[in-house]
Amino acid sequence: MTSQPSARRWLQIPIALPPEGEIRAFELGGEPLLLCRVEGRPHVLRDACSHGRTPLSGGRLHGHQLECPLHGGRIDVRDGSPARPPIRRPVRVYATRQVGAAIEVALPDASLEDSGPTGEAEPSRGESA
Ligand code: FES
């Protein structure tokens, strides 16, 4: 439990929140990301499966689980945790918040971040309250 305070910046997501259960890919800060809506809440994840780096935005949602299009592994979009093999490592998840009509996502400050292929999951919670 020795982590440095993570610097992050809030950036507006450049696409509209998709309908419930749909997924949209976008890029922000040089990062391939996906946006989905589950039970009314936005979730932003890195758009790369931790198993084979396939874009997860081509997958399908099953409730809170996002199924990878390549081998059928699943990720929980709420925290990026693996939910079904062959995925064993988490996918990075980014916090979101609603600001007026816009949705913002908290991205790590690139100058302070070691940009590994997949990081530990960061809880995705609407920071509205
Ligand atoms: S690349 Fe996603 S489960 Fe294999």
Separation of alpha carbons 27 and 50, rounded Å: 18
Q: What CATH number did the domain enclosing 96 receive?
A: 2.102.10.10
Confirm whether 114 is domain-assigned.
no
CA of 128 to the centre of ligand 1 (A): 33
Going from the Cα of 54 to the center of ligand 1, the distance in angstroms, rounded, reads 6
Query: Closest ligand 1 atom to the C-alpha of 56?
Result: 2
pLDDT of the chain, 129 residues: tens digit per residue: 445 556 889 999 999 999 999 999 999 988 999 999 999 999 999 999 999 989 999 999 999 999 999 999 999 999 999 999 999 999 999 999 999 989 999 998 764 444 433 443 334 444 432
CA–CA gap between residue 83 and residue 89 (Å, rounded) = 10
Domain, as residue range, for 93: 20-108
Q: How far is the CA of 98 from the centre of ligand 1 (A)?
A: 31
Residue 13 lies in a domain: no
Do the domain assignments include residue 117? no
Q: What is the pLDDT of residue 108?
A: 87
Residue 116: inside a domain = no
Q: What is the atom index within ligand 1 of the atom nearest the CA of 68?
A: 2
Our mutation pick for probing the ligand 1 site, out of 45, 65, 71, 75, counting the most ligand atoms within 8 A of Cβ, is 71
Number of domains present in the structure of the chain: 1
| Residue closest by Cα to atom 1 of ligand 1 | 52
Residue 77 lies in a domain: yes
Atom of ligand 1 nearest to the CA of 52: 1
Q: Which residues share a beta bridge with 108?
A: 8
- Please indicate, yes or no, if residue 70 is contained in any of the structural domains: yes
Half-sphere exposure of 3 (CA within 13 A, CB side): 10
Q: Is residue 123 part of a domain?
A: no
The label of the residue with tokens 């292929």 reads 117
The answer to the question of residue 27 being in a domain is yes
